[in-house]
Amino acid sequence: MECVRCGGGAYYTRRYSGEVLCAACFKASIVEKTRKTISRFSMLRYGDKVGVAVSGGKDSLALLRILHALSEKKRYELAVLTVDEGVEGYREESIEHSAALTKELGLEQVVVSYKELYGFDLDHALAWKDEREISSCSMCGVFRRRAIDEAAVRARVTVIATAHNLDDYVQTFMMNLMHGDVDRLGWTDPRVTDADFPLRRVKPFMEIYEEEVALYAHLSGLPFQSASCPYMHEGLRSEVRDYLNELEVGHPGMKNVLLNSALSIASKLSVSKSPSPVPCTLCGHPSSAGLCNVCRMKQLVEQHTKYTPE
Q: How many CA atoms are closer than 13 Å to the CA of 283, on its beta-carbon side?
A: 18
The 3-class SS string of 28-84 reads HHHHHHHHHHHHHCCCCCCCCEEEEECCCCHHHHHHHHHHHHHHHHHCCEEEEEEEE
CB-CB neighbours of 129 under 10 Å: 11
Q: How many CA atoms are closer than 13 Å to the CA of 171, on its beta-carbon side?
A: 19
Q: Which residues, 6 or more positions from 98, have their beta carbon under 8 angstroms from its beta carbon? A: 54, 55, 56, 60, 61, 80, 82, 109
Q: Which CATH architecture has domain 42-272?
A: 3-Layer(aba) Sandwich (3.40)
Read off the pLDDT of each residue in 271-278 and give the average, rounded to a whole number: 62
d(CA 205, CA 57): 14
Element (H, E) at 221: none
pTM assigned to the model: 0.92
d(CA 253, CA 42): 25
Do residues 158 and 48 make contact, with C-beta atoms less than 8 angstroms apart?
A: yes
d(CA 94, CA 88): 12
Q: Name the least confident of 161-165, 171-175, 196-200, 219-223.
A: 196-200
Residue predicted with more confidence, 176 or 277: 176
What percent of the chain has pLDDT above 70? 94
Q: How far is CA 201 from the centre of its chain?
A: 10
Give yes or no for residue 58 having a pLDDT over 90.
yes
The one-character DSSP state at 235 is: S
Position 274 confidence tier, pLDDT thresholds 50, 70, 90 = low
Q: Which residues, 6 or more positions from 136, have their beta carbon under 8 angstroms from its beta carbon? A: 126, 129, 231, 234, 235
